Amino acid sequence: MSEYFDDLETRSADARQAAVACALPEQIARAQALAGYDGALSGVEAQTIRSIADLARLPVLRKSDLGRAQAAAAPFGGLTSRNANQFAHIFQSPGPIYEPGGDSHDWWRMGRFLHACGVGKGDIVQNCFGYHLTPAGMIFENGARAVGAAVLPAGTGQTELQARAAHDIGVTAYAGTPDYLKVILDKAAEMGLELKIAKAAVGGGALFPSLRQEYVDRGIACLQCYATADLGNIAYESPAQEGLIVDEGVLVEIVTPGTGDPVRPGDVGEVVVTTLNPDYPLIRFATGDLSAVMEGESPCGRTNMRIKGWMGRADQTTKIKGMFVRPEQVAALVARHDEIARARVIASREGEMDVMTVQIEADGGDPEIYAGSVAEALKLNGRVEIVARGSLPNDGKVIEDQRSYD
């Protein structure tokens, strides 16, 4: 197995910039031809946008813009030249937002990350990302095919069956959220099953240092990536574990949150991504995530820009158990019950697991009354606490992340 996925990873800065200078104007021209951009790129000469710095002249595209565009022109809002039936898959994320998916070689560019994890021919990957509606399961399956690995399409839940399958099949690698692997390992130990998992490719949540160390202690090398449903893989860890290396198929900017203005090198800001995928040319797509650029190159020999990884949200949207919880979902929960004055979602950790607690301002009552509404509105089960009216902090927050990322 070669050290690198392809030669692109070790290009010189000059070679990478020359390639960008060729590919970026073509991508801008594709976007200008699409109805979904609705004049947002008008007046821009595509051939003048030849670098990441040049992108700062263009407007930022936000998730809310996608929602409005898709409401006007379902399902993809005129942001692709292909018809829905010309894609291999169509996915739905909360909003709802619809994303296209392809099954051609490494369409989401996840193979690069799996290769960095040491996954390849001879491996069997237990893919514990969801396959239903949302794209994470197919994103990692497509990447596994790109590196020649076999896949157990496990999805989420049914942990006892997952542990049994991992043992019986001889699974060697795991793909899924960081904490679910521990659930499988603990269940297998409880059942007296010996597993062969030695590699883990995780995403969809923070990989806390203590959890990574637990996997190391169990003989499992665990690396993380940063990906989204809209963009696919954005950046990934290598065995050097010094920041996340930006993927070769995207361009990343760090901007002041809520704007399109680049921050100073090293400053924390919002991650804005331009994808070079011709099938779905998202230009300056604002992820809502915070990060910062790291100086220098990775010791592993990969030469692209590095970012520090996920450092929180530019807004209050928070990822819990691999799922985003958004302020508008909390508002929808409150709207379901006239007796609820306010609500606050708190994300915390117990052991190595995410915990969601929903505090509800109401005049007493049984917390279990609201459990069903919480699950429906937030798409997650959580603890419910009834608190006195006026007792929640008057700080404008409806979602509070109490987890430590140190």
Specify whether the backbone of 403 is left (phi greater than 0), alpha (psi in -120 to 50) or beta: beta
Nearest to 176 by CA among 140, 217, 146, 214: 140
Residues 6+ apart with CB under 8 A from 212: 222
Q: Residue 134: what pLDDT?
A: 93
Q: Residue 406: what pLDDT?
A: 67
Q: Residue 364: what pLDDT?
A: 83
Strand ranges across the sheet with 285-291: 250-255, 269-275, 285-291
This prediction has a pTM of 0.81
Distances 370 to 46, 333, 399 between C-alpha atoms, Å: 52, 9, 17
Q: Residue 259: what pLDDT?
A: 80
Query: Which regions of the chain are under pLDDT 70?
Result: 395-396, 406
Q: 79-101: per-residue pLDDT in tens? A: 999 999 999 999 998 889 999 99
Q: 162-211: per-residue pLDDT in tens? A: 999 999 999 999 999 999 999 999 999 999 999 999 999 999 988 999 99
